[in-house]
Amino acid sequence: MSGRLVITVFAFILFIVTLVWRLPKTNLPLIMQERIGFFIFSFIISFGLTLLFLFLMMNTLITEHQSRQQLAIANQKLQEYALRIENQATLEERNRIAREIHDSLGHSLTALNLQLETAVKLWESQPRKAQGFLKNAKQLGSKVLQDVRNSVSTMASLPLQNQSLEAAVIDLADNVYQTTGVKPNLNMTAREASG
């Protein structure tokens, strides 16, 4: 900005020096000298105001351009942040499901295996007791199957958790605002997906 200001002031001074240098050096009546002086003064003021207007206009345009660049950078960072949050949320959900599978399915399958092993060992010597273990194994098998279905259903469910995309984006923007203090400006237009 200081460079533009120096150039503007230099142009104004150069204009005044050139104008004064080119004035005719004739002896005119006092009234004519006053009129010419007023005309020159008005011309200098008009030129100065024009230069000031151009200077301010250039500063405004350059500032707006810089603001747009900063906004584009902030928008890019916001998109990267949103992608990181989405990836982090996906990773945490996968870890939770993995723990759930390990904890519930692993224990249930171990218990099922023990019930079946016991039933096999007792089958020849104590068939009634073996049948009880088989019934328990059948119940455990049904429970394990239901747990598997629940886990698969959880993994296959939409990442939006029964929200519309718009609601999910608004939630994400609110989260960004609460975390960073930067309030995103949302402008969404819905588009139908082609099948």
Q: Report the pLDDT value the prediction gives residue 28, as an integer from 0 to 100.
A: 74
Which three-class secondary structure string do you get for the chain? Answer: CHHHHHHHHHHHHHHHHHHHHHCCCCCCCHHHHHHHHHHHHHHHHHHHHHHHHHHHHHHHHHHHHHHHHHHHHHHHHHHHHHHHHHHHHHHHHHHHHHHHHHHHHHHHHHHHHHHHHHHHHHCCCCHHHHHHHHHHHHHHHHHHHHHHHHHHHHHHCCCCCCCCHHHHHHHHHHHHHHHHCCCCCCCCCCCCCCC
Kindly state the average pLDDT of the residues 184-195: 64
pLDDT tens, 124-178?
898 888 888 888 888 888 887 787 777 667 666 545 555 666 777 777 777 767 7
Q: Report the pLDDT value the prediction gives residue 158, as an integer from 0 to 100.
A: 47
Q: Report the pLDDT value the prediction gives residue 15, as an integer from 0 to 100.
A: 85
User: Which of residues 123 and 158 earns the better pLDDT score?
Assistant: 123
Asked if residue 117 has pLDDT above 90, the reply is no
Asked if residue 101 has pLDDT above 80, the reply is no
CA separation (Å) from 44 to 13, 37, 71, 106, 150?
Answer: 10, 10, 40, 90, 83
Asked if residue 3 has pLDDT above 50, the reply is yes
Considering only the C-alpha atoms of the chain, give the largest distance between any 2 of them, rounded to a whole number of Å. Answer: 142
User: Both tokens of residue 39?
Assistant: 């005309």
Average pLDDT taken over every residue of the chain? 80
pLDDT tens, 30-69?
888 788 788 888 988 998 899 899 889 999 999 999 999 9
Residue 5: other Cβ atoms inside 10 A: 11
Cα 176 from Cα 159, distance rounded (Å): 18
Asked if residue 78 has pLDDT above 70, the reply is yes
User: Which of residues 80 and 162 earns the better pLDDT score?
Assistant: 80
